[in-house]
Each structure stands twice: as structure tokens, then as C-alpha cells.
């Protein structure tokens, strides 16, 4: 099984949204582990009638809490990919430092991917500057080619499979980590 951890040290970056969208996209090939005591992902899946555990899952997605949870030390070395959602703003640029240092210390920078979420195009001058500073300050973390935009489709939480622009972006992001499956 391929395991994907979605993590960021800051709240409200889109961890749960991205987890949920990936599950909407991958369907029963994917199961979920909710490590956040807020349980937003479990609640959303429960309301939508989606099982957290899937008997034939090929992928497992972990949603996490918005802080440097010590329990991640056991998980970080064992997952295949670590996706790090961030917004293209100064608060995220600053708070990413703790994640960066932790990933380097755990020797897992090579499996991490920084994913910019809620990106509005065209990029403002400030967003361009923040992007430049992310690359400059955190050179050991790869930046995903796929930017996740502000998506109306994310509001349609009961809809399976994921559709439209959201599906295209999630598909493209998953392809970057070698996953080419679709909803079954
Ligand atoms: N790409 C997006 N387009 C539109 N809305 C988004 C997008 N990403 C996140 N949101 C909205 O932003 C808010 C925060 O997103 P979300 O709950 O996924 O963040 P989180 O990182 O899981 O937060 P927490 O750290 O509290 O767990 C939610 O209301 C969500 O619907
Ligand atoms: Mg969350």
C-alpha cells in the first residue's frame, strides 16, 4: 500500500480539503486515517456516507492536525509521500520553517512535496515574491507543478466522483507522485 501524509504546521491551509478531494477522486482504492483531534475529515466522510477503511485500498491518506504533533515522528519515516499544502502568503512562508527543519532532521525531504493551495491566477506581485522566497528559503523541498486554485467544486462535498477543475487538479497532483488511478 502506498501511504500519503498530508501535513502542514499551520491551520487552514487546506489539508482536510485536499485529503477529502483525493478520496473523492480515488474512491474505494483509497482509505483514510484522521490524525486530527478536530476530526473534520472523519466527520465529512461520515456525513457523505463514505467508509474510512476500504478492504481493497491501494492507497492510504493521513490527515493531520495543524501543529507539530509529536506522534508524527513515527509516521513520517514510513509514508511514501508527504504533501505539504501551503498558501502563497507570508504567514505560510514563515510557519513553514518548522516543517522544513523537521523534515530535514527526519531525513525525508526527498519524499516531500510543497503544494500551493487556494491560488488565484494571475498571481499578484506579493504571491510571486512569496513563491520566490519559498524556493529560496526551503531549497530542499520540491514544489509541485500543480497549483490548487480556489475551487467552487470543493464545496460540493457530497458529490462523488470529483468533477471538473478540481478533478483535473487533483489528478495532476496525484500524477506527480506516480498515482494514475481514478474513482472505482
Ligand atoms: N482550494 C480551495 N478552494 C476553496 N476553499 C478552500 C480551498 N482549500 C481550503 N478551502 C477552505 O478553507 C478552509 C480551511 O480548509 P481546510 O479545513 O481544508 O484546512 P486545514 O489545513 O485542514 O485546516 P486545519 O489546520 O484546521 O485542519 C475550509 O473552509 C475550506 O473549505
Ligand atoms: Mg484539517
> Per-residue confidence at 155, pLDDT binned at 50, 70, 90?
low
* In contact, 146 and 173? CB cutoff 8 Å: yes
Ligand 1 center to residue 17 CA distance, Å? Answer: 5
Q: What is the mean pLDDT of the chain?
A: 93
> Does residue 25 or residue 68 have the better pLDDT?
25
Q: In this predicted structure, what is the pLDDT of residue 157? A: 59
> Which residue out of 12, 37, 157 has the highest number of ligand 1 atoms within 8 Å of its CB and is therefore the one to mutate?
12
Q: What is the DSSP letter of 145?
A: S
Q: Report CA Rg, the chain.
A: 15
* Cell numbers at 81, concatenated: 509521500
Q: Report the Cα 61 to chain-centroid distance in Å.
A: 9
- Region of poorest pLDDT, from 59-63, 153-157, 162-166, 176-180: 153-157
Query: Which residue, 101, 39, 55, is CA-closest to 19?
Result: 39
Helix axes 40-48, 15-26, angle to 10 degrees: 30
Give every CB contact of residue 55 below 8 A, 6+ residues apart in sequence: none
Ligand 1 center to residue 117 CA distance, Å? Answer: 9
Ligand 1 center to residue 3 CA distance, Å? Answer: 21
Does residue 87 surpass a pLDDT of 60?
yes
> Which residue out of 7, 8, 17, 45 has the highest number of ligand 1 atoms within 8 Å of its CB and is therefore the one to mutate?
17
| Mean pLDDT, residues 142-148 taken together | 98
Residue 2, number of CB atoms within 10 A of its CB: 17
Q: In this predicted structure, what is the pLDDT of residue 182? A: 79
Ligand 2 center to residue 40 CA distance, Å? Answer: 6
Cβ of residue 84 lying under 6 Å from some atom of ligand 1: no
**Euclidean distance between CA atoms 182 and 76, whole angstroms:** 26
**Euclidean distance between CA atoms 38 and 65, whole angstroms:** 8
> Per-residue confidence at 183, pLDDT binned at 50, 70, 90?
confident
Q: In this predicted structure, what is the pLDDT of residue 156? A: 63
**Euclidean distance between CA atoms 60 and 110, whole angstroms:** 19
**Euclidean distance between CA atoms 33 and 163, whole angstroms:** 23
Query: Which residue, 40, 108, 46, 97, is CA-closest to 75?
Result: 108
Q: What is the pLDDT of residues 92-143, one digit of tens each?
A: 999 999 999 999 999 999 999 999 999 999 999 999 999 999 999 999 999 9
* In contact, 151 and 131? CB cutoff 8 Å: no
**Euclidean distance between CA atoms 36 and 54, whole angstroms:** 20
Q: In this predicted structure, what is the pLDDT of residue 184? A: 66
Q: What is the pLDDT of residues 161-182, one digit of tens each?
A: 888 888 999 999 999 999 998 7
> Per-residue confidence at 70, pLDDT binned at 50, 70, 90?
confident
CATH numbers and ranges of domains, the chain? 2-176 (3.40.50.300)
Amino acid at each position: 500500500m502506498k501511504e500519503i501524509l498530508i501535513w502542514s504546521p499551520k491551520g487552514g491551509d487546506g489539508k482536510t480539503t485536499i485529503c477529502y478531494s483525493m478520496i473523492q477522486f480515488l474512491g474505494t482504492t483509497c482509505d483514510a486515517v484522521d490524525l486530527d483531534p478536530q476530526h473534520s475529515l472523519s466527520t465529512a466522510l461520515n456525513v457523505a456516507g463514505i467508509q474510512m477503511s476500504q478492504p481493497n485500498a491501494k492507497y492510504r491518506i493521513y490527515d493531520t492536525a495543524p501543529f507539530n504533533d509529536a506522534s508524527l515522528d513515527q509516521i513520517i519515516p514510513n509514508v511514501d509521500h508527504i504533501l505539504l499544502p501551503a498558501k502563497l502568503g507570508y504567514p505560510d512562508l514563515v510557519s513553514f520553517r518548522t516543517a522544513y527543519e523537521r523534515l530535514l532532521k527526519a531525513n525525508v525531504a526527498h519524499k516531500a512535496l510543497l503544494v500551493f493551495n487556494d491560488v488565484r491566477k494571475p498571481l499578484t506581485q506579493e504571491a510571486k515574491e512569496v513563491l520566490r522566497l519559498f524556493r529560496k528559503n526551503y531549497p530542499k523541498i520540491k514544489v509541485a507543478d500543480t497549483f490548487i486554485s480556489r475551487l467552487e467544486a470543493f464545496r460540493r462535498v457530497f458529490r462523488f466522483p470529483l468533477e471538473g477543475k478540481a478533478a483535473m487538479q487533483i489528478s495532476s497532483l496525484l500524477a506527480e507522485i506516480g498515482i494514475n488511478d481514478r474513482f472505482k
